[in-house]
């Protein structure tokens, strides 16, 4: 790393270099403007940045990386800033780079390349800054009967680059898997400014380490994703959505097992509870179609080539004796209305205060025991805490949201994550580690695991310029 001048001079020098490379309008230094990039979606994580760079091409990303590296300044890649573990915003003064100067936020939202859909390969190449909803519209507009397999409620802001970097899961994971399953190629800028371009989308390519799989889920700590080649799946013209009221979590797990067995087009199985539904109804002015209270709710979506999926779902619900506890919709507006009860949980919880967000996964067989146990574990450390649970239950993925304790009070996080580890689960199902969960990584990753991850980080980013303080614990 080069010897550095005093902070102010260094930032001024980098700013000047970046203004030459990106244009004045894309190097943001006004503190009020920069502040809009330094707080995360939840409001729990915020820090300081020297400036925000908004490159508009891969070559401009290279310029940003080289300028920061030469000056010894760290970089925080940012997409739509919808990540929920504090990985897209700086901590404050840099923990990497020279350790003294606040980092540069590299906002990738201007990388909006969207190539024509490749019908033969069922793939599309998209820039890192393309939002999920823009990608979905682009693929639908091709008229090839294809769609993108990952979907999530933050679709209007979450970007392709951020979704790759977090290995996002979402509501269709049960059928199509997460981002790692969709990535057929990536374009990357490495920490030394070199570009790796692998956008051919070869179905078979057995040449060396699985770099694409490694970068997917690396949370901006190994490379900057500038574009992705994404697999597409056939779109399903018939959809049926059902909101089902159940006695408890065990009944929901049992129903999910039956749905998996008997409904070929099962695409989503989302779990939530009365306290979350009440909050959503209050926040959104909605009225539940099912009379409450219920011990658990499942929102199920099935999709297929014809309305046979509706019959399969109806038969499965009838066999379980649940016809009278179910609201069903097949038209778009009705289905969206049912989805709102699930998808508005995140914003409804945020409207109450800054939540502790703990996205975890468990073996499906442990789900029913976990639900009362997590309420007890939280109550044992905080009498004021309110727990709201929901999640992609088909994948054993529960979002534990705890409101009440101060954002920097880690007692509830500790209690919940210790419980998850004791029940053989994972402390992060789909949101990643970010800044939020570093101190608990050791609960579900061994010293050998963490050592291997650190060796990879040191090999690809020896100066620690990419996203310091994210994912790996300090040495
Ligand atoms: C309402 C709501 C619902 C959500 N639902 C889901 C869900 O169902 N499933 C799920 O998995 N997540 C969900 N999320 C979390 C979030 O949307 C995902 O993590 C998403 O993938 C983040 O994308 P982003 O563009 O906002 O990334 P950001 O938040 O900007 O960044 C996330 C991480 O990726 C890194 N990063 C961003 N862009 C790049 C890049 N181009 N190159 C390298 N690193 C980069 C950042 O440094 C950071 O570590 C939800 C969030 C909200 C607010």
Give the per-residue pLDDT at 475.
73
Distance CA 452, CA 433 (A): 16
Q: Tokens 């009070």 — which residue?
A: 409
Distances (CA, A) of 162 to 87, 225, 431, 439: 10, 8, 11, 23
Distances (CA, A) of 333 to 40, 240, 329, 463: 31, 12, 8, 51
pLDDT band at 97 (very low <50, low <70, confident <90, very high): low
Mean of the pLDDT values across residues 56-65?
A: 98
pLDDT in tens, 417-454: 999 999 999 999 999 999 999 999 999 999 999 999 99
Closest ligand 1 atom to 108 CA: 41
Distance CA 267, CA 113 (A): 29
Among 44, 65, 76, 154, residue to substitute to test ligand 1 (most atoms within 8 Å of Cβ)? 154
Give the per-residue pLDDT at 3.
36
CB 88 within 8 A of CB 162: yes
pLDDT in tens, 127-168: 999 999 999 999 999 999 999 999 999 999 999 999 999 999
pLDDT band at 85 (very low <50, low <70, confident <90, very high): very high
Give the per-residue pLDDT at 43.
85
Mean of the pLDDT values across residues 277-295?
A: 96
CB 55 within 8 A of CB 26: yes
Among 75, 88, 111, 169, residue to substitute to test ligand 1 (most atoms within 8 Å of Cβ)? 88
Give the per-residue pLDDT at 100.
72
Closest residue by CA, ligand 1 atom 16: 83
pLDDT band at 95 (very low <50, low <70, confident <90, very high): low
Give the per-residue pLDDT at 1.
33
Distance CA 270, CA 301 (A): 9
The length of the chain in residues reads 475
Give the per-residue pLDDT at 208.
94
Closest ligand 1 atom to 218 CA: 44
- Does pLDDT of 176 surpass 80? yes
Q: How remote is the CA of residue 263 from the centroid of ligand 1, in Å? A: 31
Closest residue by CA, ligand 1 atom 20: 163
Among 83, 299, 469, residue to substitute to test ligand 1 (most atoms within 8 Å of Cβ)? 83
pLDDT in tens, 19-30: 999 999 999 999
Per-residue b or e along 166-179, where b marks 16 or more CB atoms closer than 10 Å to that residue's CB: bbbbbbbbbbbbbb
Distance CA 341, CA 292 (A): 14
Q: Tokens 């997917």 — which residue?
A: 216
pLDDT in tens, 332-353: 999 999 999 999 999 999 999 8
**Partners of residue 392 on adjacent β-strands:** 397
Distance CA 139, CA 146 (A): 7
Tell me the average pLDDT of the chain: 94
Percent of the chain with pLDDT over 90: 91
Q: How remote is the CA of residue 168 from the centroid of ligand 1, in Å? A: 7
Give the per-residue pLDDT at 96.
53
Q: Under 8 Å CB-to-CB from 372, ≥6 apart: which residues?
A: none
CB 398 within 8 A of CB 361: yes
Tokens of 167: 């290995």
First to last CA, the chain: 19
Q: Is the peptide bond before 293 cis (omega within 30 degrees of 0)?
A: yes
pTM over 0.75: yes
| Exposed / middle / buried, residue 474 (Cβ in 10 Å: 0-12, 13-18, 19+) | exposed
Mean of the pLDDT values across residues 389-412?
A: 93
Residue ranges around ligand 1 (CB below 6 Å): 41, 76-84, 87-88, 108, 128, 152-154, 157-159, 161-163, 165-166, 168-171, 219-220, 224-225, 346, 430-431, 467, 470
Per-residue b or e along 367-377, where b marks 16 or more CB atoms closer than 10 Å to that residue's CB: bbebbebbeeb
- Does pLDDT of 94 surpass 60? no
- Does pLDDT of 187 surpass 80? yes
Sign of CA dihedral 95, 453, 151, 423: negative
pLDDT band at 8 (very low <50, low <70, confident <90, very high): confident
């Amino acid at each position: 790393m080069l010897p550095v001048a005093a902070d102010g001079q260094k930032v001024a020098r980098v700013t000047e270099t970046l203004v030459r490379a990106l244009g004045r309008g894309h190097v943001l230094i006004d503190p009020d403007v920069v502040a809009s990039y330094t707080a995360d979606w939840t409001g729990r994580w915020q820090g300081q940045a020297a400036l925000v760079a908004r490159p508009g091409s891969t070559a401009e990303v290279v310029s940003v990386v080289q300028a920061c590296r030469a000056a010894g300044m760290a970089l925080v890649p940012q997409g739509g800033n919808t990540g929920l573990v504090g990985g897209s915003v700086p901590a404050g003064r840099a923990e990497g780079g020279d350790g003294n100067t606040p980092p540069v936020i590299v906002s990738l939202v201007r990388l909006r390349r969207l190539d024509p859909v490749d019908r033969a390969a069922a793939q599309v190449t998209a820039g890192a800054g393309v939002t999920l909803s823009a990608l979905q519209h682009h693929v639908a507009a091709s008229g090839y009967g294809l769609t993108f397999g990952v979907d999530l409620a933050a679709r209007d802001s979450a970007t392709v680059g951020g979704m790759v970097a977090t290995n996002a899961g979402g509501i269709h994971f049960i059928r199509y898997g997460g981002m790692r399953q969709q990535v057929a190629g990536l374009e990357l800028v490495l920490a030394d400014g070199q570009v790796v371009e692998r956008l051919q989308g070869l179905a078979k390519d057995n040449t060396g380490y699985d770099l694409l799989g490694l970068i997917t889920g690396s949370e901006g700590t190994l490379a900057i994703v500038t574009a992705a080649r994404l697999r597409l799946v056939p779109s399903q013209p018939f959809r049926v959505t059902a909101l089902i009221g159940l006695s408890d979590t065990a009944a929901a797990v049992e129903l999910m097992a039956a749905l998996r067995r008997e409904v070929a087009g099962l695409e989503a199985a989302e779990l939530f509870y009365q306290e979350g539904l009440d909050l959503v109804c209050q926040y959104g002015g909605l009225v539940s179609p099912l009379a409450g209270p219920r011990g658990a709710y499942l929102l199920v979506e099935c999709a297929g080539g014809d309305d046979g999926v509706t019959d399969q779902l109806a038969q499965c619900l009838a066999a379980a004796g649940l016809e009278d506890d179910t609201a069903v919709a097949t038209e778009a507006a009705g289905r969206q209305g049912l989805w709102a009860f699930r998808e508005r949980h995140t914003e409804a919880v945020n409207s109450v205060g800054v939540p502790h967000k703990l996205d975890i996964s468990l073996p499906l067989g442990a789900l029913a025991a976990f639900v009362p146990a997590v309420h007890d574990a939280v109550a044992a450390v905080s009498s004021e805490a309110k727990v709201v649970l929901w999640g992609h239950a088909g994948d054993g993925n529960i979002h534990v949201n705890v409101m009440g304790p101060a954002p920097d009070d880690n007692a509830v996080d500790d209690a919940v994550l210790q419980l998850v580890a004791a029940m053989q689960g994972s402390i992060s199902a789909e949101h990643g580690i970010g800044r939020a969960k570093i101190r608990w990584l050791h609960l579900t990753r061994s010293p050998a695991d963490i050592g291997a991850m650190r060796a990879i980080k040191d090999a690809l980013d020896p100066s620690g310029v990419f996203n310091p303080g994210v994912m790996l614990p300090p040495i």
